[in-house]
Each structure stands twice: as structure tokens, then as C-alpha cells.
Structure 1
Amino acid sequence: MAALAFKVKSKNGQQVLKDLTSESTVGELKLFLASISDVSVERVCVLCGYPPKPIDVSDDYKTLTQIGLKSGETLIVEEKAGPSPGEGSKAETSVPMIKGPSRPVENGTSHETIGRPGILMKKVVPSDNSCLFTSIVHSLMRQIIAMEVGNDLDTYTEAFLGRPNAEYCAWIMQPSSWGGAIELAHEAKSSRQFTDLNKFTLKCQVCDTLLTGQAEAQRHAKETSHTSFGEV
């Protein structure tokens, strides 16, 4: 039974939900989301994925695993529209409102574009030891870093971390711990958003000479007066 953590977006802002497991039910999820978003349980609508799409939360007895939810996902909570007072059964026979421009009829079937309101939220990031994590993805960032560091004992040694690997993993999960170079190194490496100044390959745009590292490039520039380089 694995613990699950979700980032929840609603009209009340963003929160992290960490009180559920893979065996928790849809009903339990809806209760938590209702309390976070101030939306009544029967009107909770949950969107997930990119672009966000509604997920089926009609069966309160299904587990979160059965509906395909995974730890780390972002859940957007919206409120289902309910019938206006006095409409009753008339609402079923009345012509529905078109919320967007209609498309031309294709193959005898008309298509309507229904606009779904988005959520724009602004969150003030405090200037404390957790600003890196708060800015990126709240406390989920700490869990990701601890998992990656704990799974790579060859790279993240005691000499590298300044403390035993297991001790570091426990330390980085604390809200008061300062994240920095080690944490960003993993994220940069996974997305290839980094440059090793000693080993990267450069090409002189003037004479097409291939150079390795910043030192070779500086030496080449000094010897040839060529100053235009590009990374290969």
C-alpha cells in the first residue's frame, strides 16, 4: 500500500495532499478535496493531466489506483454546475446554453465548443530556506530529491553529500533544510539544462576548429583572434 501525494489547485489556492494511499477510495479523495476547496462533495469535479481532463469520480468505492491516479500528479478541483431553483424537470427539456461558438455540422453531427474556466493563482514565496522548493513544486520537490539521492548511492556518496546518504535523505525532507546545488544538479542533468565548462565541445564559427573546454577556446581565441564559438 503506497503513500500518495498530490498537488491540489482550487479557488482557494494550492495545497499539497499527503493523507491518502493507493488503497484509498474515490469517496475519501472527494471528502479531502471538498474540505480543501470549499466545494460540496456532490459537486466536486476533478481534472488531471495535461491538458487537464475530467476524471471519473462517480464511483465512491473505487480505489485511487483503479481510476489511474499516481503520486505526484496535479489535481484541479472545480465545482459542477447545479440546476437553478425551481427548474426541476424543466431543465431536462429546455434548450441548453451554448458556452462557445458552434462548429459547422460535419457528417450530420454538430459540434459545440464548451469553454472551461481556468484557474489563475498567485502565490507569494517566502524568503526562507525552502524558497527553491516552494517555487518549483512545494514539498513534492523534497520527496523527488530524496528518492533520487537514495537510489544513486554511487554518485551521492558521503563525501559528495557531506553526510551519510540516508541521513541526507531524511535531512532534505525537513522544511527547515536548505536546498541548493545538489538538488538543482539532478534536475539540470535530467533535462540537460547544464554546461560542463571543462568538457563541453565548442566549434569555432570562423575556421570550424573543434575545441574541448573553456581553456582551449580561450587559447584558440588568443592565438587566432577568432571570438565566435558555438557549442556542439
Structure 2
Amino acid sequence: METVVRRVIPSDNSCLFNAVGYVMEHNRNKASELRQVIAATVMSDSATYNELVLEKPNDIYSQWIQDPEKWGGAIELSILAKYYKREIAAYDIQTTRCDIYGQGEGYTERAMLIYDGLHYDALALTFFEGAPEEVDQTIFPILKDGTIGHVSKLAEKLVQDANRQRKFTDTANFTLRCAVCQKAFVGQKEAVEHATKTGHSNFQEFK
């Protein structure tokens, strides 16, 4: 019986890039290459990718995104959708929302990711629970109604089940400690402000 499963990507600050690598090419080791693709795209189009969009100067961002310690998000997903000429659907477990990158560009295929507030994994269609990854289907034709048919429904069910089981991190209220100076913070916003001021980028969650 067909089912959508979550393929776990290592938690190494490059999960978004490696999750995209898996769904697009069945390769979990694409982070370095895809970071370079993003940097080159940004550098080649400073009108679209300006300081207002990137929240830092174009050239600084291009260096920043190639650092394996830096995380990716919406900007990077939109660039990678354009690079692969496929839509990328990113499901958020906490809100059960699905953001589709590359929508409206005329692409005919879609791949899917799942996000728990801190981490991205890949989603794949398989013939039965426990089937080997070699038979995973990760790219799906987009139908006339703009969906990927029953696969969308299977993905939504997986996300809703994960939400009910609270398999997400509430980034507005979770507690973090800076591993560099040991200061404690509540929520992602405080941690980001601290990182911006100090350059510290190693945070650990604690209860």
C-alpha cells in the first residue's frame, strides 16, 4: 500500500540543502554544491537579491551562505526551486501549513520537504512502510488542479499525525543556551539577536 514517509537528513546545519539534494537527486551530500549554486545566483542578480531581501549586502550574503554552519530558509528554497525547475513543497509540522516555492513559474513537477521548526527532512512516496530507499519516488507530476493528487493527501496526513504527536520545536518559546558564553534565551528571536551582536552561532536547546 502506497504511503508517504519521512527520510531523515543528518542534523548538521545543512539539512535544508541535503533534504533538497535527496528529493531532487537521491543524494544526501549536496549541501556544499547547492550552497555554491545559491551564492552564484545571488551574485548574478543583485537587483532581485538586494540587501532588503537578503537582510545583508549581496556579496556578504554570498560568502555567508557558503559557510556550512549557516542555515537555509525561504530564500534558499525559492532559488533551489528555480535551479531545479521544480516546485518545492515545504510542510511545517507545527502549523500544518504548506508553502510551495516556485509556484506560478510553470513548472510541471514537485518535490516535498517537512520542517519541524529547526530541521528539514525529505518526504518520499514508497510502496509500503519499510520499503528500501532505492524505490522512493520523490518527484511528482503536477496535475491540472495544481496538486499532486493523492500524494498531497498522504503527505498532509503524515504532517497532521506528526502535529498531533507534537513532533516539532516551538521556536517562539523554546529555551536555548549559547554554547560559547553560556547565556540562556527564550525563543529563536532572542538567540538570533544575540548571534547578530556577538557572532556566536553555536546554540543548544535545553529544558
The TM-score bracket by the shorter chain reads: 0.3 to 0.5
Instruction: Calculate the TM-score normalised by the size of structure 1.
Output: 0.30
Q: Which has the higher contact order (CA 8 A, sep 6+)?
A: 2
